[in-house]
Structure 1
Amino acid sequence: MKKYFILTFLIASTVFGASAQLLPSIQLGVKGGLNFSTLRSEDGGWLDASTRTGYQAGIWARIGGAGVHFQPELYITGKSSEAKLVDRDEEGKVTFTSLDLPLLLGTRVGLGLAGLRIHAGPVVSFVVDKNIGQSLQQVTQFSEYKNQAWAVTGGLGVDISNFRADLRYEHGLSELSKNDSAPQKVNLWTIGIGYRLF
């Protein structure tokens, strides 16, 4: 009888342990960082823009077990660029404040509390505020911007205990300008530091 009890206990422990490993883990955390953005015309022919520093702050989640994980994020992001028209003597600062929603797939290499991550995926941005320098406001190409934009991002991350660090490049896919003859896209690098709450 004792042998059957021990055998039943071992089988049950093995089954529950395997089931727990198969279930996806869920993490939630906060993150902040800097971005370095550039607003350029698609052909580079009429708009030249210098890279400027912006900010990023928000939350992230990670869902998945060993191997592949899904990482949705939500940030308030400030993007800025110093724009100069190539064929005119007009220049000024252009800024966007947006809610950014990256939907990333990634994988983690490492054991225990430390690991290296690789991740990539689409980003949708909802522009909540835009400001065009006064000298550029009269220029047709800058008169109207869309309220939504798509991009793709990818990069590397490091996990050390509850801390997270990321380096990413984001490439704009959709045109920001409503003027089809003056396409503009935002490209940026981001450096972020995060903390896992649970």
Structure 2
Amino acid sequence: MKRIIFSLLFIVFSASVIAQPTFDLGLKAGLNNSKVTFKKSEINSESIIKYHVGAFGRIGFGRIFVQPEAYFSAKGGELEGEALDIASSFNFNSVDVPLLLGLKIIDGERANVRLMGGPVFSVLTSNEIDGDDLLEPEYYKDNYVAFQYGIGADLMGFTIDFRMENGANIYKHQVNSDLDGKNSTFMISLGYKIF
């Protein structure tokens, strides 16, 4: 792992010495197709459509870039199954701060195609569970770290991103680990570069 981190830092440093840095700042919004899955096999998870809205920055060194973002995001899922008396909805809102490392695989004058990935740090702003008493809102984690990866494109001042976010345990039951919940979200974002 240390070799990978050192190699990435070396590439970014080398590119920054050779290339003239660029900076973009913009606004973004989009849809989340989110679902929460549990270890307990008797609980079935269905995805729901929510949204996100916020801002992004991009610091580029030739084809390599770093993209920090901050946005408000609504996520959750629908639950049903034998372990639940009635169907439940599992909803939460968070402020997400991804820090993505990317590579432009096509780098044109007016358009480009990008690959990106990195950690996302999230802080819950609200949580809610409707329906069954088996799951309690008190077991939501206040914050968590997940991983995002995806592909995007820029056309003049506009951006579009397709990303997957997963790896986050957002619900930690104190008594029954089969009721620990993990979030996964597919995101589509549209953005506009202000400058």
Residue matched to 2:12:
none
Matched, 1:30 2:24: no
Of 96-105 and 173-182, the range deviating more from structure 2: 173-182
Matched, 1:95 2:95: no
Residue matched to 1:191:
188
Bigger CA radius of gyration: 1
Amino acid at match of 1:153: Q
CA RMSD of aligned residues (A): 2.0
Structure 1 residues 85, 143: CA separation in 2 closer, same or farther (over 3 Å shift)? farther
Using the aligned pairs only, state the percent identity.
Answer: 30
Aligned partner (choices 135, 146, 149) of residue 154 of structure 1: 149
The within-5 A match list for 1:8-27 is 22-27=19-24
Shift of residue 130 of structure 1?
0.7
Amino acid at match of 1:151: A
- Report the TM-score when normalising by structure 2: 0.84
- Report the TM-score when normalising by structure 1: 0.82
Distance 2:32 2:108 in 1: 30
Shift of residue 173 of structure 1?
3.3
Structure 1 residues without counterparts, runs of 5 or longer: 1-18
Shift of residue 175 of structure 1?
4.4
Residue matched to 2:9:
none
- 3-state secondary structure, aligned to 1:174: strand
Structure 1 residues 103, 20: CA separation in 2 closer, same or farther (over 3 Å shift)? closer
Residue matched to 1:166:
161
Residue matched to 1:144:
139
Indicate conservation of the 8 Å contact 1:158/1:166, yes or no: yes
Structure 2 residues without counterparts, runs of 5 or longer: 1-15
Distance 1:61 1:145 in 2: 30
Indicate conservation of the 8 Å contact 2:76/2:183, yes or no: no
Distance 2:95 2:42 in 1: 28
Distance 1:97 1:142 in 2: 13
Residue matched to 1:116:
113
Runs of 4+ in 1 over 6 A off after TM superposition: none
CA deviation map 1:29-84 (0-9, x unaligned): 0000001001010x351321111000000000001220210000001001121112
Distance 2:194 2:77 in 1: 33
Indicate conservation of the 8 Å contact 2:63/2:107, yes or no: no
Indicate conservation of the 8 Å contact 2:113/2:152, yes or no: yes
Aligned partner (choices 33, 37, 42) of residue 40 of structure 1: 37
Residue matched to 2:5:
none
Aligned partner (choices 55, 59, 75) of residue 55 of structure 2: 59
